[in-house]
């Protein structure tokens, strides 16, 4: 498929990184055109982008007297996607409020396709309520915002505000063009760990970071699904473009999941649900007194098992976090919980398990087939899980 990508470069030091973005997109087969603001030209020469993309770079609104009144319209009509990187706070403010005072902002206003913005600036400028409000306005309009990375900034400080690496920006672009293999399908994903109260200030928790489930939810959104993410405690930001339901305990998660179950096509249960909760949580903070303290625990409902008994046409996907006999234990759970497939992993293996960005997993199906995946990012594994789910839903 021919893809026309229009890159808007605004005046930030990170503009140099976007040369690589343009190069990678071009190499991936896309047609790439670039609009630079006048300030962007202070950082990178238009000629660089011109050589990389093989297309003339536009800067001035009135560069071509004969065509000035149509340049922004024709570029807007040409593009399938607009990527603004790096986007300054000034650009975000203008785009949020429909100000069109140069070629780039005018083109943004005339463009009705998907816009992806990668802001990059000083941390304080990014955190400023004005910038955050502008980002909220843009997000609410369906603009995709690529969160800045954290690290050293050009101004000598360190914090959130760096332009993500070119490969990450290109991955985001790829996702936008990803085939919508789950369009028309509703997917429920659970993630994170449940929190079981002991008293008003303490709880029993687990080491789940929520990353795997959040990546699955994101991949499902990218695949065009209507997504509900029911999440316990997690260390990562929820993805955009989905219904986010925050819960604490296993009982709350069960409620939230059951209330959605009848209307969904698939459930992917990656949450680390506590198997036990405190039988009678104290109403007041427990004060220390005796040398030992005994908490009586009671079994939590097994949400996935319950779904397995209720299921009609829904696809059910479970996880098995094991430390030994992985395939045997996972297979047992697959059958006992009436799942369509289970994602099994050895949480003690290096590069797998809690808190890390990678995983090493196997997918076991009802027919006994086993797919062993090498170590890969949780995002890549999430895409595999979504592909297998789409396959079972007859979408592939």
Active site residues: 155
Name the minimum Å distance from CB 118 to ligand CTP: 34
Closest to ligand CTP by CB, 339 or 379: 339
* Lookup result for tokens 């709880």: 203
Name the minimum Å distance from CB 76 to ligand CTP: 45
How far apart (Å, rounded) are the C-alpha atoms in residues 73 and 109? 9
DSSP assignment string, 84-129 = EEEEPHHHHHHHHHT---SHHHHHHHH--SEEEEEE---HHHHHSH
Closest to ligand CTP by CB, 333 or 388: 333
Tokens for 196?
């079981």
Closest to ligand CTP by CB, 16 or 244: 244
**Nearest partner of 87 among 117, 122, 44, judged by Cα:** 117
How far apart (Å, rounded) are the C-alpha atoms in residues 55 and 331? 55
In the 8-state DSSP scheme, what is residue 236? Answer: S
Closest to ligand CTP by CB, 134 or 206: 206
How far apart (Å, rounded) are the C-alpha atoms in residues 163 and 121? 8
Name the minimum Å distance from CB 302 to ligand CTP: 4
**Nearest partner of 204 among 255, 256, 250, judged by Cα:** 250
List the beta bridge partners of residue 377: 358
Name the minimum Å distance from CB 382 to ligand CTP: 15
Name the minimum Å distance from CB 186 to ligand CTP: 19
Closest to ligand CTP by CB, 136 or 348: 348
Name the minimum Å distance from CB 204 to ligand CTP: 13
Distances (CA, A) of 189 to 215, 233, 259, 343, 385: 10, 14, 13, 14, 12
Instruction: Kindly report whether the peptide bond that precedes residue 99 is cis, defined as omega within 30 degrees of 0.
Output: no
Closest to ligand CTP by CB, 143 or 269: 269
Name the minimum Å distance from CB 276 to ligand CTP: 9
How far apart (Å, rounded) are the C-alpha atoms in residues 55 and 60? 15
Closest to ligand CTP by CB, 195 or 321: 321
Measured in degrees and rounded to the nearest 5, phi and psi for residue 100 equal: -130, 85
Measure CA 14 to chain center: 23
The footprint of ligand CTP (CB under 6 A) covers 250, 269, 271, 273, 275, 300, 302-304, 318-321, 333
Closest to ligand CTP by CB, 94 or 277: 277
Name the minimum Å distance from CB 272 to ligand CTP: 7
**Nearest partner of 191 among 159, 154, 239, 156, judged by Cα:** 239
Distances (CA, A) of 126 to 27, 121, 159: 32, 6, 10
Helix and strand element counts for the chain (H, E)? 13, 21
């Amino acid at each position: 498929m021919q893809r026309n990508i229009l890159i808007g470069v605004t005046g930030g030091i990170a503009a140099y990184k976007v040369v690589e973005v343009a190069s990678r997109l071009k190499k991936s087969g896309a047609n790439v055109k670039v609009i630079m603001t006048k300030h962007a030209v202070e950082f990178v020469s238009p000629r660089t982008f011109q050589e990389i993309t093989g297309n003339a770079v536009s800067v001035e609104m009135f560069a071509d007297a004969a065509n000035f009144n149509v340049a922004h319209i024709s570029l807007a009509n040409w593009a399938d996607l607009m990527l603004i990187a790096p986007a300054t706070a000034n650009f975000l403010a203008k785009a949020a409020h429909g100000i069109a005072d140069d070629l780039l902002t005018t083109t943004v206003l005339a463009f009705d396709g998907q816009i992806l913005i990668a802001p990059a600036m000083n941390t304080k400028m990014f955190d400023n309520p004005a910038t955050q409000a502008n980002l909220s306005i843009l997000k609410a309009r369906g603009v995709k915002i690529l969160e800045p990375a954290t690290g050293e900034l050009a101004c000598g400080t360190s914090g959130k505000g760096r332009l993500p690496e070119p490969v990450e920006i290109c991955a985001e672009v790829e996702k936008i063009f990803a085939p919508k293999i789950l369009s028309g399908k509703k997917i429920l994903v659970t993630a994170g760990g449940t929190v079981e109260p002991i008293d008003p200030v303490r709880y029993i928790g687990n080491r789940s970071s929520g990353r795997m489930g959040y990546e699955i939810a994101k991949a499902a959104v990218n695949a065009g699904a209507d997504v509900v993410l029911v999440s316990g405690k997690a260390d990562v930001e929820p993805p955009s473009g989905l219904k986010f339901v925050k819960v604490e305990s296993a009982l709350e998660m069960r409620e939230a999941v059951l209330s959605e179950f009848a209307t969904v096509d698939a459930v992917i249960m990656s949450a680390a649900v506590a198997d036990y909760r405190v039988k009678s949580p104290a109403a007041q903070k427990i004060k220390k007194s005796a040398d030992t303290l005994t908490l009586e625990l009671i079994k939590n409902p097994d949400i996935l098992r319950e779904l397995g008994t209720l299921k009609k046409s829904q696809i059910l996907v479970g996880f098995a976090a094991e430390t030994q006999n992985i395939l045997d234990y996972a297979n047992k759970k697959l059958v006992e919980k009436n799942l369509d497939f289970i994602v099994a992993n050895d949480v003690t293996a290096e590069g797998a398990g809690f808190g890390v960005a990678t995983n090493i997993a196997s997918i076991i199906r009802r027919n006994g087939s086993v797919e062993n995946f090498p170590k890969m990012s949780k995002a890549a594994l999430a895409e595999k899980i979504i592909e297998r789910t789409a396959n079972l839903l007859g979408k592939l």
